[in-house]
Chains A and B, each alone.
Chain A
């Protein structure tokens, strides 16, 4: 009897092992476990502003379009669309699709959702993302009526949007979280729906099951999604663990399949052992110069500072994640008119590293070998990588130019305040695009731009941006933006340092995840476990 029981146990163990062995073929359970690295601030698409929220929402909802492989805009709830020749009127034909509760999704739902975003009483941050639409800004600033906003349902499956000026980026923007539809009935009947994930009626690849705060969100496949047959995952667990070392521990012990942040001290070793994949990221890291400061109002000083740092050393030795040294402002990954990449058409050498020339410039400015130049204050926030880059630059300026700098570390909100009040000399900055078009970078530095924050103003630049914004002709638009970028680099109110990359810990068995270079971290619509 004893022996028999032993044999039985061995059999059980063997069969369990056999089952485990099946993991490589189709009998593997289709569950992906992903760490989005924070508790979302909200799950109301109109209120959300962050990439983590965008990521969760984009897996639960679908807008008029969606971003597919290779940053291509593909039909979402809209199966086709027409843009009027003047670039002002967009007519979307919606496919017949359903909400997760089985109700039909109509053009009226989009009208309701977008009006809700713009309603001034709701006070949503990203209402301004819809300002392209005629009458939108007026309504949101309480000086216009909701009926005058250019969003109309012509019939249940036709949505017409009228813009106030041509904006070719508008099409891609309809994939963005702010423009996702919400179910009007749900919103009217249960005002608490953003707090109760299980009450959310969705229209995307996955529908919500539960939300354990600061732990995880569980989603399952939404069988009412129009493209549900393409969705291979049965379940998507989105973890909300904010300590990335903890996430890394969980990844190492097999509790996670994917985390898009990597502990910086582990990075070189993980890249070497190919455990980390490096995804593209259409964002730029740069320093702002305070052009109203006495010393930095001198273009020669700004140029000398920009030309005298070794960006290759910074990305190789400090940031270490394959970032690309930046000698221009607009990163790779944004399309030009001819289908090419905006950066590739213009090249990435709008200026060069040239220490000799920098020395000449600083001498001409009246500070030979940096003598007589007051100490430059580099403002950074408390992120350790920002501080490390600043230390490297501080040293390079000293060695190459004889220029002395101090690093001023400020807590994030204080830092923002200082930047806003131009209370800095040089300020560490980054910019991630809101939509996949160079304009998101170019219009930063117009005179009235809320994100200019350098005190710099150029009529030529403003005119070029205005020209680009006045036409739907992509060729004219892009050429104007190329010229504007050239002006920006010539005048150098900012000093580009590198284009970001996005290193992620991802198991080889997790396939088909789309990791876009902006707006969201990961789209699991086509993902599967091999």
Chain B
């Protein structure tokens, strides 16, 4: 187990180096720079700016400086805002994470619930209904769903505030909009794996032994079918916790998602790199957790790991 974690951590560091390098190259290759303005500034002003942000250094120097900053957990100042990249992440990530947590829980409840109903009523109307709803959620983009929710709950019924962040009422609509797609996906994953497991011999044996349906479900089916969902969960948490540009924009939520898009539009080099590093580390850490979780819940993987 320890060897496994050490091994994976080394892989993560190498991957991170590759990701930062690639981002650095792409970022400097795309046209335009952080000081591109509607109104051109005089050369003297531009010189002051490039000197202040060290953009007059060679690329090699900038590249090296970035890594030396990174090793001290210093992501540098934003080129666009008065705040440092770390300030922005520390401020905005908790908001996205909070919304993300609610959304993931919601997605799990709706998704697993739907999947179980579907599987147990295989090819009957509840199954069709759940499949229909999940197809809908898989294909409708979140901004349409968000607009629809606002129209119904904020505009027509006036139950919920249309936007902004700060109280529990303001979480409901964005969390629904964010969780629809993963819920649909989870319900499909759960349905498929439950159906598969229901056919297994040990389930038949258990039933023959006279175990009740409920205890079969909890002892055998849930535990075995949840593996595929857990795999997906690593990616889901990483992507949903770091925020969604569209949902945050529509609901005026001060999260991190918006910066993934605006930093690139603004050519805010340090913020682009900082967010890339943050997202990459977070995603890989989640995947590592998922793998560790596998080792714990699935004895088969444990033995493979030992070999």
Contact = CB atoms under 8 A, between A and B. Distances in A.
B100 interface: no
A194 B82 CA distance: 7
B52 to A, nearest CB: 4
Contact of A195 (B43, B82, B252): B82
A245 B52 CA distance: 37
B258 to A, nearest CB: 7
Contacts of A414: 30-32
Interface in A404-446: 411-414, 416-418, 420, 430, 434
B49 interface: yes
A195 B91 CA distance: 13
B36 A214 contact: no
A213 B91 contact: yes
A412 B37 CA distance: 9
Given A123-B48, A214-B252, A413-B36, A43 B265 contact: no
Interface string B257-278: 0100000011100000000000
B154 interface: yes
Interface stretch (A15-23, A248-256, A346-354, A516-524): A248-256
Contact of B32 (A44, A123, A252, A417): A417
Contact of B45 (A125, A417, A434): A125
B41 A213 contact: no
B81 A41 contact: yes
A41 to B, nearest CB: 6
B44 interface: yes
A416 B265 contact: no
A122 B53 CA distance: 11
A43 B82 contact: yes
B82 A49 contact: no
B220 interface: no
Interface in A372-429: 411-414, 416-418, 420
Interface centre among B33, B37, B45, B254 (most CB of A within 10 A): B45
Interface string B221-260: 0000000000000000000000000000111111000100
A128 interface: yes
Contact of B162 (A212, A250, A450): A250
B40 A420 contact: yes
B155 interface: yes
B82 A213 contact: no
A392 B307 CA distance: 69
B265 A412 contact: yes
Nearest to B83: A195
B150 interface: yes
Interface in B69-104: 80-83, 87, 91-92
B44 A137 contact: yes
B40 to A, nearest CB: 4
Nearest to B44: A141
A177 B299 CA distance: 67
Contacts of A123: 45, 48-49, 51-53
Given A49-B37, A125-B37, A416-B37, A214 B150 contact: no
A214 B258 contact: yes
Contacts of B158: 253
A42 interface: yes
Given A243-B249, A249-B154, A253-B154, A417 B162 contact: no
A245 B250 CA distance: 8
B230 to A, nearest CB: 33
Interface string A241-283: 1110110011011010000000000000000000000000000
B42 interface: yes
Nearest to B42: A128
Interface in B183-220: none
Contact of B265 (A243, A413, A418): A413
B290 interface: no
A241 B163 contact: yes
A106 interface: no
Q: How many interface residues does chain A have, given as a range?
A: 35 or more
A434 B37 CA distance: 14
Nearest to B146: A246
A214 B155 contact: no
Nearest to A143: B44
B265 A246 contact: no
B65 interface: no
B164 interface: yes
B252 A215 contact: yes
Contacts of A142: 44
B44 A140 contact: yes
A402 to B, nearest CB: 33
B92 to A, nearest CB: 8
The interface centre, meaning the residue of A123, A242, A451 with most chain B CB atoms within 10 A of its CB, is A123
Contact of B48 (A42, A120, A195, A418): A120
Contacts of A252: 155
Contacts of B37: 49, 125, 416
Nearest to B253: A214
B249 A249 contact: no
Nearest to A216: B164
Nearest to A137: B44
A66 interface: no
Nearest to A411: B265
A127 interface: yes
Contacts of B250: 243, 245-246
Contacts of A250: 162-164
A434 B41 CA distance: 13
Contacts of B161: 253, 255
Contacts of B254: 212-215
A413 B31 contact: yes
Contacts of B32: 413-414, 416-417
B82 A451 contact: no
User: Which A-B residue pairs are the 4 nearest by beta carbons?
Assistant: A413-B32, A141-B44, A214-B254, A123-B48
15 contacts: A43-B82, A120-B48, A123-B45, A125-B35, A128-B42, A213-B254, A215-B166, A242-B252, A243-B250, A246-B162, A246-B163, A250-B164, A255-B161, A412-B36, A418-B31
Interface of A: 39, 41-44, 47, 49, 120-125, 127-128, 131, 137, 140-142, 194-195, 212-215, 241-243, 245-246, 249-250, 252-253, 255, 411-414, 416-418, 420, 430, 434, 450-451, 453
Given A123-B53, A241-B252, A450-B42, 18 more contacts: A39-B81, A122-B48, A128-B41, A213-B92, A215-B165, A241-B163, A250-B162, A250-B163, A255-B161, A411-B265, A413-B33, A413-B36, A414-B32, A416-B38, A417-B32, A418-B31, A430-B38, A434-B39
